[in-house]
Structure 1
Amino acid sequence: MNLRKPLKITFILVCVFNFAAPAQEKPVPAAQKIKEQDWAALKFYQQANQNADLEHPKENRVVLMGNSITQLWQRVDSNFFKAHKNYINRGISGQTTPQMLLRFRQDVINLKPRILVLLGGTNDLAGNTGPATVDEIFGNLVSMMELARTNGIKVVICSVLPVYDYPWRKGLEPVEKIARLNELLQKYAKEQQLVYLDYYQVMKDERKGMKADLSGDGVHPNLKGYQLMEPLLVSAVAAAGKNKK
């Protein structure tokens, strides 16, 4: 009988751990850091708000709250604002309604205006700060209107201006969303007895975008566009001043 000694086999498990050094983060530009730290641009009008009493009369103040369409207005047609010293421009380029809502107290309420002219929502539809539904945009605008009225400020709510396509975010097809948002705003204004300022109807073309002679990029009005809007604004402000709501 051939007995073989059992063969002992030793298995050696070798575990190799590869600890890779963490990748170094790319430096963030200073301007981007500031934007990330001040998402709502609370510092943008900080100094201007402190100087407001020196630059604008305290009586019958009108604050225009919005995005680049509001901000650029003063640059494109500065004569209009020189003629209306009581109008305070608080537009910030690129802003969406949640950003506007966050800075609403300092840039509107604390200035103690008699009337608020609120224009916003188009950048939300362009996805500037991420996806947003029409109902979410409408809700943010309503929140600002409610804050204004709670603080004794009369409201002019503006329609969103017509846009066929956003040059910086092509293919989003905003036409129907803008129309729907404007319907909600107009209905709300009627229910709450507020002044609805309808820029949309006089500025839209056959495609429901902005008329070519009123804008260079289909989003922002040119001088002719603003001059079309100005008498409508003045009339709406006058109506709001008489409004009991």
Structure 2
Amino acid sequence: MKRFLLLAIGLIFVFSASAQTNDWAKFGRYADANKSVTERPDAVFMGNSITEQWASQDPEFFTKNNFVGRGISGQTTAEMLVRFRQDVIALNPRVVVIMAGINDIARNNGYIAHENILGNIASMCELAKMNGIKVILCSVTPCEVFSWRRELKPAEPIRELNKMIRAYAEENHIFYLDYYSALTTETGGLPEKWTFDGCHLNLECYRTINEPMVCEAIDKVLKVKKNHRHQPMK
């Protein structure tokens, strides 16, 4: 019996690991949720943990504004690009809000050059525009220390990537949403009042900084009045 239990536990781990390997980009994360989207979203938020935690910490902000959150913790730009068709294009939003790049800098899937990070971001923007979806391209938010990769020093790489993202946005007439400048300290980190670990944002930050900024950006891109932001567009 003991040998049987050990074998069963071992098989569970094998199948679990196999399932994760077979869904590298995590298509399954929002597969069911996507089926329940019956109304055209005003905006889909594509991103990593910063986006995922925003939607989980303040779900009312998303539902009342006809927004959809499609962030997945830990994802790099390559993983976001792979699932972009399913989690953004298929939902046919009016706008996609893209925040990506910090996990590439953290080397979650190994080292990747800034030029290639930008290339993945640019590909998402091009896919959106080809499908009639307007784009808001966000800066990477500040971080001085990755709690999961303390040997790295991300402050300067984040600054450099943001310069590249801004330049790309300006060159291609894409709205650039500069969270970085609104949040950063002199040393390239987050103020303690806005974070719980030095890299991720807390609810107060989302409500005080991010939400007013992104609503204004979406209104500008869609060319609507600010008071429309609390009701789905017709």
**Counterpart for residue 76 of structure 1:** 57
Give deviations 1:142-188, integer Å, cap 9, x for gaps: 00000000111100000000010100000211111111111111111
**Counterpart for residue 123 of structure 1:** 103
Pick aligned residue for 1:114 from 69, 94, 103: 94
Structure 1 portions without partners, runs of 5+: 1-25
Q: Structure 1 CA distance, aligned partners of 2:158 and 2:189?
A: 10
Aligned partner letter, 2:55: Q
**Counterpart for residue 206 of structure 1:** 186
**Counterpart for residue 47 of structure 1:** 32
Q: Structure 2 CA distance, aligned partners of 1:81 and 1:61?
A: 10
Give deviations 1:117-158, integer Å, cap 9, x for gaps: 000110111111111111111110000000000111100000
Give deviations 1:192-243, integer Å, cap 9, x for gaps: 1111000000111121111111001111100111111100000111111139
Structure (1 or 2) with the greater helix fraction: 2
Structure 2 portions without partners, runs of 5+: 1-9, 225-234
**Counterpart for residue 137 of structure 1:** 117
For residue 27 of structure 2, give the secondary structure of its aligned residue in structure 1: coil
Aligned partner letter, 1:82: T
Aligned partner letter, 1:129: N
For residue 176 of structure 2, give the secondary structure of its aligned residue in structure 1: strand
Q: Structure 2 CA distance, aligned partners of 1:98 and 1:104?
A: 10
**Counterpart for residue 31 of structure 1:** 16
Q: Structure 2 CA distance, aligned partners of 1:48 and 1:143?
A: 24
Aligned-pair identity in percent equals: 42
Aligned partner letter, 1:139: G
Pick aligned residue for 1:234 from 192, 215, 223: 215
Does the alignment pair 1:96 with 2:76? yes
Q: Structure 1 CA distance, aligned partners of 2:123 and 2:169?
A: 13
TM-score (norm 1): 0.83
TM-score (norm 2): 0.87
Shift of 1:34: 1.6
Give deviations 1:87-141, integer Å, cap 9, x for gaps: 0100011111100000000100010111010001101111111111111111100
Does the alignment pair 1:62 with 2:43? yes
Aligned partner letter, 1:155: V
For residue 52 of structure 1, give the secondary structure of its aligned residue in structure 2: coil
Shift of 1:29: 4.3
Q: Structure 2 CA distance, aligned partners of 1:31 and 1:97?
A: 24
**Counterpart for residue 195 of structure 1:** 175
**Counterpart for residue 168 of structure 1:** 148
